[in-house]
A = this chain, B = another copy of it.
Amino acid sequence: MDINSLTKKIYTRNKIAVSRAISTVESGNNDSTLLLKEIHKKTGKAYRIGITGPPGAGKSTLTNELINFYRNQNKTVAVIAVDPTSPFTGGALLGDRVRMSEASTDEGVFIRSMATRGSLGGLSKKTIDAADILDAAGYDYIIFETVGVGQSELDIARTADTTMVIVVPESGDSIQAMKAGLMEIGDFFVVNKSDRPGADSAIMSLKTILMFRKHDENSWLPNIIKTVASEGAGITNVAEEISKHHQYMIEKNIFLKRRKENSKLRIKEIVEDIIKNKIWTGERITNLNSKIEEVVEGTTSPYSVADNLINDFKNEIT
């Protein structure tokens, strides 16, 4: 691959080049690392927005409306949609993707799906890599649309500058369920389809949970915004809240601090992924497999097998 000619095209926001670069990143080969090293210097200008929430909350519809909003302000927008592809359902949310891709005839909009299918882990790493490509390409906003189910999806949303969690009035009961994961990562909350019954009670549930969030007079207090995304209602408020959160972070000197923290986590993940690949060679997997019988029979313990594998790994990289 001619990386120089590809990067040049990326910097002009050439969609085909951007698309090819993201495919390279998805494949995770050597070219991918070279490319990412090269384009990194052009990154840092895009504002990254995480949109997450349970399936059916209207994330795609709201994303569409945000695209329209930013396009009317003459800003460019890239979307990375992370599909939770179940091993037995094939491909969920396809309908949404198709509908969303309508926007992509617009030169200022780029939409890409990243699937979990077939990849054991590494999803958040690849998604962030793809965001760097889009950032280097000069998109003003990068939206990560994720389903708040798996850990990787949460990790992705977490890396955004501003993350909103979307619920619907019917989520009342499940808002309790979300406590453990989704609730912590929201910089603000959106109650979508808020013309339906139960909207106020969903807001009350959110408020109750947010009350327990550690805060002092200087803390950012997550707002709750009502929308009816399918009619475009409330979208201006959502965009204003994103901007308000951005301003707040700049004033409190936490904007760069948050980006640094994310960079740190990202580098740790890169290091661990590389090391994992070095550990699990075909030979060492065969070695592991040959010991499992004894482990299940109890003649050797998992920790003894682990010791041997680690010693073998040490000898190899010595």
Judge whether A149 and B181 touch: CB under 8 Å: yes
Q: Provided the pairs A184-B86, A318-B317 are in contact, do residues A177 and B298 lie with their beta carbons within 8 angstroms?
A: no
Q: How many residues of A contact B (CB 8 A)?
A: 76
Q: Does A96 contact B (CB under 8 A)?
A: no
Q: Does A27 contact B (CB under 8 A)?
A: no
Q: Does A54 contact B (CB under 8 A)?
A: yes
List 12 A-B pairs, Cβ < 8 Å.
Answer: A40-B295, A56-B173, A87-B184, A149-B177, A149-B181, A174-B174, A263-B295, A264-B288, A264-B289, A270-B302, A272-B276, A318-B318
How many angstroms from the CA of A301 to the CA of B209 in the assembled complex? 38
Most chain B CB within 10 A, of A89, A150, A272, A306, is at A306
Q: Provided the pairs A214-B88, A271-B306, A310-B274 are in contact, do residues A260 and B292 lie with their beta carbons within 8 angstroms?
A: yes
Q: Does A43 contact B (CB under 8 A)?
A: yes
Judge whether A267 and B150 touch: CB under 8 Å: no
What is the interface of chain A, defined by CB distance below 8 A to chain B? 33, 36-37, 40-44, 54-56, 84, 86-90, 92, 147, 149-151, 170, 173-174, 176-181, 183-184, 209, 212-214, 256, 259-260, 263-264, 266-268, 270-272, 274-276, 279-280, 288-289, 291-293, 295-306, 309-310, 313-314, 317-318
User: Across the interface, which residues of B come within 8 angstroms of A259, CB to CB?
Assistant: 296
Closest-by-CB residue of B relative to A36 is B303
User: Across the interface, which residues of B come within 8 angstroms of A304, CB to CB?
Assistant: 37
Q: Which of B84, B150, B267, B298 contacts A41 (CB 8 A)?
A: B298
Q: How far is the CB of A53 from chain B (nearest CB, A)?
A: 10
Closest-by-CB residue of B relative to A298 is B41
Q: Which of B40, B92, B214, B289 contacts A302 (CB 8 A)?
A: B40
Q: How far is the CB of A48 from chain B (nearest CB, A)?
A: 13
Q: How far is the CB of A202 from chain B (nearest CB, A)?
A: 13
Judge whether A86 and B183 touch: CB under 8 Å: yes
Judge whether A267 and B40 touch: CB under 8 Å: no
How many angstroms from the CA of A143 to the CA of B30 in the assembled complex? 45
Q: Which of B212, B214, B276, B292 contacts A263 (CB 8 A)?
A: B292
Judge whether B54 and A174 touch: CB under 8 Å: yes
Q: How far is the CB of A65 from chain B (nearest CB, A)?
A: 22
User: Across the interface, which residues of B come within 8 angstroms of A263, CB to CB?
Assistant: 292, 295-296, 302
Closest-by-CB residue of B relative to A173 is B170
Q: How far is the CB of A199 from chain B (nearest CB, A)?
A: 15
Q: Provided the pairs A149-B177, A268-B280 are in contact, do residues A293 and B260 lie with their beta carbons within 8 angstroms?
A: yes
How many angstroms from the CA of A103 to the CA of B270 in the assembled complex? 46
Q: How far is the CB of A274 from chain B (nearest CB, A)?
A: 6
How many angstroms from the CA of A291 to the CA of B275 in the assembled complex? 20
